[in-house]
């Protein structure tokens, strides 16, 4: 797949900017504290690397901050009682274990509400700017908090920024929104919010729930009554590598997104699929993650006139994986993709060395070919990944009017 720099048919082609990036230092407040995997260093290092590679200072790239989203906005997805509980947890240190607040995954911190609400506002700003034609693409690497439920925190996620933004753009006039999640963990929170809504397609490519939190996301989960076929889940075997992971993305995502024909494409780019990630056991490279970003970018230009909002998500190899992967994402979204052979700037490497006392990977590549055999090449029933793909296509394609053997 080759990304192009010019898309004259895209609705956003006449937009003020090519890319709108949600970023301010206030976003670093979303941090569960020392030793927790969800450290804000992930975002800080990613933005710093992108900046030093010159991706954020282009005249057609706008970097914007945001104030926390209001309780009224949050309540479009989240229960008011839960929002009050988050306020109490933040302001008075009051845990609410029944609502996931004060658990090991989601420990309390003083700015919990404001920090989480600011992430929501960043994704909300992104989708509004894309929908209104003020930018072609928008990226919020601090977003993608896909596990948060309407009434509970879950899996390091307090508020579900993607769900709030999708609901907002539906209210603004979008008829259909597709959400594609390539995090190692199932995008359960977004799926649950829109389970019965035929206007929203949720697609998740993840490590099987038999092995990984949250234990959901099986092929038979295809949507609620009246929305059958709008939830799509590929549950991959543990230790799936580049060839299998990209084959799964290619075998499922383009077909279902094209058939759904969304007005807006929202994608979540959790990079805990990487082989170095400490919380999952997939074996994907930075190079394959870059290929997937290109695929999703090009798909947005094909099906939704370029209206694309890309979010961060998981990813806990904070020095060697997250900054490079999300910098590649920003490069793709700005129509200036970073060549894999590009050296990581010496200044960035020096900051890592000083702050963490070790060397980081010195190039923007893992040296992986990131190639795969397209699904059109045939199904291998002896292959675990092929069986997982086949299970998804068999379960959901007919509900979408697609032939699992041909499309």
70/75 Cα distance (integer angstroms): 9
383 in a domain, yes or no?
A: yes
Q: What are the C-alpha distances in Å from 315 to residues 46, 134, 282, 383?
A: 11, 30, 12, 27
The pLDDT of residue 407 is: 74
Closest among 160, 182, 202 to 75, alpha carbons compared: 160
Name 241's bridge partners. Answer: 283
Question: Looking at the 3D structure of the chain, how many domains does it have?
Answer: 1
The pLDDT of residue 406 is: 84
Which residue segment(s) compose the domain that 224 sits in? 18-400
366/288 Cα distance (integer angstroms): 9
1 in a domain, yes or no?
A: no
11 in a domain, yes or no?
A: no
4 in a domain, yes or no?
A: no
293 in a domain, yes or no?
A: yes
Residues in Cβ contact with 7 at an 8 Å cutoff, skipping those fewer than 6 apart = 13, 136, 301, 306
Phi, psi dihedral angles at 311 (to 5 degrees) = -120, 160
Burial of 248 (0-12, 13-18, 19+ CB in 10 A): buried
99 in a domain, yes or no?
A: yes
CATH of residue 110: 3.40.800.20
Q: What are the C-alpha distances in Å from 364 to residues 285, 340, 345, 348?
A: 11, 5, 10, 12
Per-residue pLDDT in tens (0 to 9) along the chain, 407 residues: 222 233 322 333 456 899 999 999 999 999 999 999 999 999 999 999 999 999 999 999 999 999 999 999 999 999 999 999 999 999 999 999 999 999 999 999 999 999 999 999 999 999 999 999 999 999 999 999 999 999 999 999 999 999 999 999 999 999 999 999 999 999 999 999 999 999 999 999 999 999 999 999 999 999 999 999 999 999 999 999 999 999 999 999 999 999 999 999 999 999 999 999 999 999 999 999 999 999 999 999 999 999 999 999 999 999 999 999 999 999 999 999 999 999 999 999 999 999 999 999 999 999 999 999 999 989 999 999 999 999 999 999 999 999 999 87
- Position of tokens 């230790």? 239
- Residue 54 token pair: 């010159």
State how far Cα 248 lies from the chain centre.
17
Among the options 78, 146, 147, 185, which is catalytic?
Answer: 147
**Alpha-carbon dihedral sign for residues 102, 104, 108, 113:** negative
396/261 Cα distance (integer angstroms): 16
Cβ atoms of 285 and 368 within 8 Å: the answer is yes
SS3 270: coil
Q: What are the C-alpha distances in Å from 157 to residues 19, 72, 100, 182, 321?
A: 26, 19, 10, 17, 21
pTM, two decimal places: 0.95
Cβ atoms of 283 and 207 within 8 Å: the answer is no
- Residue 200 token pair: 């929203």
SS3 210: coil
Name 118's bridge partners. Answer: none
Burial of 293 (0-12, 13-18, 19+ CB in 10 A): buried
SS3 401: coil
Q: Does 274 participate in catalysis according to the annotation? A: no
The pLDDT of residue 14 is: 53
- Position of tokens 């658990």? 103
173 in a domain, yes or no?
A: yes
271 in a domain, yes or no?
A: yes
**Alpha-carbon dihedral sign for residues 314, 318, 320, 322:** positive
């Amino acid at each position: 797949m080759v990304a192009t720099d010019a898309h004259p048919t895209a609705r956003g082609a006449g937009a003020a900017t090519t890319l709108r990036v949600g970023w301010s230092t206030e976003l670093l407040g979303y941090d569960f504290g020392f030793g927790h995997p969800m450290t804000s260093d992930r975002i800080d290092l990613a933005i710093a690397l992108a900046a030093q590679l010159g991706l954020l200072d282009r005249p057609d790239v706008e970097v914007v901050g945001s104030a926390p989203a209001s309780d009224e906005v949050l309540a479009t997805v989240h229960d008011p009682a839960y929002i009050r509980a988050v306020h109490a947890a933040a302001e008075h240190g009051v845990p609410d274990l029944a609502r996931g607040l004060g658990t090991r995954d989601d420990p309390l911190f003083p700015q919990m509400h404001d920090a989480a609400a600011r992430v929501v506002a960043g994704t909300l700003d992104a989708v509004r700017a894309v929908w209104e034609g003020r930018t072609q693409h928008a990226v919020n690497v601090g977003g993608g908090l896909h596990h948060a439920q309407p009434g509970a925190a879950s899996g390091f996620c307090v508020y579900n920024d993607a769900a709030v933004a999708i609901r907002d753009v539906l209210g603004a006039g979008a008829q259909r929104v597709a959400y594609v999640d390539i995090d190692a963990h199932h995008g359960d929170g977004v799926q649950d919010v829109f389970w019965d809504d035929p206007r929203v397609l949720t697609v998740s490519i993840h490590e099987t729930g038999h092995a990984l939190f949250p234990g959901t996301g099986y092929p038979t989960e295809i949507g609620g009554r009246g929305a059958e076929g709008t939830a799509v889940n590929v549950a991959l075997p543990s230790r799936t590598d580049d060839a299998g992971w990209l084959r799964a993305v290619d075998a499922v995502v383009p077909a279902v997104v094209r058939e759904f024909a969304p007005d807006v494409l929202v994608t979540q780019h959790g990079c805990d699929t990487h082989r170095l990630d400490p919380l999952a056991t997939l074996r994907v490279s930075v190079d394959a993650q870059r290929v997937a970003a290109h695929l999703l970018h090009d798909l947005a230009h094909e099906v939704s006139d370029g209206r694309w909002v890309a979010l961060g998500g998981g990813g806990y190899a904070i020095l060697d994986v997250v900054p490079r992967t999300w910098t590649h994402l920003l490069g793709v979204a700005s129509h200036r993709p970073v060549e894999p052979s590009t050296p990581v700037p010496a200044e960035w490497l020096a900051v890592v060395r000083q702050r963490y006392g070790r060397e980081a990977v010195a190039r923007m590549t893992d040296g992986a070919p990131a190639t795969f055999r397209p699904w059109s090449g045939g199904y291998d029933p002896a292959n675990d990944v092929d069986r997982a793909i086949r299970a998804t296509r068999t379960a959901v394609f007919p509900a979408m009017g697609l032939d699992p053997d041909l499309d």
